[in-house]
Every structure is written in structure tokens, then in C-alpha cells.
């Protein structure tokens, strides 16, 4: 199972919005509504930000939102804040008890 494709980097100024894409195939992103997004700060464990494409766990700001169209999922961070600077990973369930991750996107707040 190949990794999902994410852009290596993204950036935006405070207050702006930025969208990170996650491209897969009909066997993963396009085939299941089990796409998640994780935020990881340096030296820390990943934190779930979005699950099942659009849902936010309790405590995650509503500035974070998820969507999907075809084989591509997206994470949008609105009203960028300095603390949003981190690595972001998408993942998708691919059936048969397997999960695949994206390569990660480093988000820089300018």
C-alpha cells in the first residue's frame, strides 16, 4: 500500500487560511470515509485533529476543518495562529485492518 501524497510544505500569515491536500486512490481516500488528520509538534506525539473526514474531536478548535472530494482529502486551518505551526499528517483506512499515512506537510506560520 503506497503512502498518501501530501505537499511537503505549506505556509500562511497569522489570520489567514491555509489548505493542505492529501491525495490517494479509490482504494483508500476515495473508498472510505475514514480519513483523519494529525498535528505533530517537534518531539511530541501526534494529536488527532479531524476524523471521519469532517469530524472534530472535543477540544479541537473549529478553525480546523476537513473535507473530501473524490480521491483527495483536505485540511483547512482558518485564522492561522502561531501555535498552528507543526507537521500535519493525513491517514486513511484501506480495508482489511490496514491504515496508510501521508508523507506529512510542514506548516509554517510566517
Partner 1 sequence: EVQLVESGGGLVQPGGSLRLSCVVSGLTVRSNDMSWVRQAPGKGLQWVAAIYSGGDTYYADSVRGRFTISRDISKNTLYLQMNSLRPEDTAVYYCARGLANLNYWGQGTLVTVSS
Out of 75, 104, 107, 109, point to the residue binding partner 1 (CB under 8 A): 104
SS3 55: strand
Out of 28, 89, 107, 109, point to the residue binding partner 1 (CB under 8 A): 89
SS3 83: helix
Is 11 one of the binding residues for partner 1 (CB under 8 A)?
A: no
- Phi/psi for 82 (5° steps) reads -55, -40
Residue 83 neighbours by CB under 8 Å, 6+ apart: none
Name residues contacting partner 1, limited to 55-74 (CB under 8 A): 57
Query: Which residues contact partner 1 (rule: CB under 8 A)?
Result: 1, 3, 32, 34, 36, 38, 40, 45-48, 51-52, 57, 89, 91, 93, 96-104
Amino acid at each position: 500500500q503506497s503512502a498518501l501524497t501530501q505537499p511537503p510544505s505549506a505556509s500562511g500569515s497569522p489570520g489567514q487560511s491555509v489548505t493542505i491536500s492529501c491525495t490517494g486512490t479509490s482504494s483508500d481516500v476515495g473508498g472510505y470515509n475514514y480519513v483523519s488528520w494529525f498535528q505533530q509538534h517537534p518531539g511530541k506525539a501526534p494529536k488527532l485533529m479531524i476524523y471521519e473526514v469532517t469530524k472534530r474531536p472535543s477540544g479541537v478548535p473549529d478553525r480546523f476543518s476537513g473535507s473530501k472530494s473524490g480521491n483527495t482529502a483536505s485540511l483547512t486551518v482558518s485564522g492561522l495562529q502561531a501555535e498552528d505551526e507543526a507537521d500535519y499528517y493525513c491517514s486513511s483506512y484501506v480495508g482489511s485492518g490496514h491504515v496508510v499515512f501521508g508523507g506529512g506537510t510542514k506548516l509554517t506560520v510566517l
